[in-house]
Amino acid sequence: AQKITQTQPGMFVQEKEAVTLDCTYDTSDPSYGLFWYKQPSSGEMIFLIYQGSYDQQNATEGRYSLNFQKARKSANLVISASQLGDSAMYFCAMRDQTGANNLFFGTGTRLTVIP
Amino acid sequence: NAGVTQTPKFQVLKTGQSMTLQCAQDMNHNSMYWYRQDPGMGLRLIYYSASEGTTDKGEVPNGYNVSRLNKREFSLRLESAAPSQTSVYFCASRKNRDRNTEAFFGQGTRLTVV
């Protein structure tokens, strides 16, 4: 069975500092993808970044990057130069490769950026 | 550039009342999903539609029904609302369920059942 684990319910970071949000996963499928979403207090789900299991390099999108360690089954999100607007819930997700093929989500990490 | 549009944004129901949550996407996506979000539990799949004309149960389907009216629209119905259905509901769509494509989400519906 596939599984996504986010062990940090809450994190704090000083403005302008970098922060790493942890995500570990478990799957038996050799081809898979990891997604990160941001949910600000307004409630919408915003797609941030994607990492494919066969991608040779770690994904980057602006200030977001993925520290993808396939052997350790981890896909941690790194946010550089944190801004106050980064305060939000962050969800790691993976495609369910049985049945619905939906994205199934971890329980999330609440990030608070301190001025 | 509407993306995924959900209505209503907020709703309060009395126990036993019924309602339908509407969802429409304009991205020509094949797959559509309904999730509920509860504190500390992330998002859980209620129902999904892999393509027009098909629907299937997800992780937590009890108390809900769905209709894939056409390729654009996927509605969620609560026939007899219960307090346990108090939650935030999200509709989402993906271009192709068999590929590693991201899901696009609606703004969410905050439902309270009293």
pLDDT tens, position by position, B34-54? 999 998 888 999 999 988 889
Q: How do residues B2-27 score in pLDDT, each as one tens digit?
A: 799 999 999 999 999 999 999 999 99
Structure tokens at A101: 């093929």
Q: Quick one: closest CA in B to A92, which residue?
A: B42
B42 contacts in A (CB within 8 Å)? Answer: 91, 105-108
Whether A99 and B56 lie within 8 Å, measured CB to CB: yes
B48 contacts in A (CB within 8 Å)? Answer: 100, 102
Q: How do residues B50-91 score in pLDDT, each as one tens digit?
A: 888 899 999 999 999 999 989 999 999 999 999 999 999 999
Does the CB of B58 have a partner CB in chain A at under 8 Å? yes
- pLDDT (0 to 100) of residue A99: 61
- pLDDT (0 to 100) of residue B84: 96
Question: Closest Cα to residue B85, out of B29, B27, B38?
Answer: B38
Report, as ranges of residue numbers, the positions in chain A whose pLDDT lies below 70: 1, 98-100
- pLDDT (0 to 100) of residue A100: 65
d(CA B66, CA A41): 28
- pLDDT (0 to 100) of residue B97: 62
Average pLDDT along chain A: 92
Question: Closest Cα to residue A78, out of A14, A33, A19?
Answer: A19
Strands A3-5 and A33-39: unpaired
- pLDDT (0 to 100) of residue A32: 87
Does the CB of B3 have a partner CB in chain A at under 8 Å? no
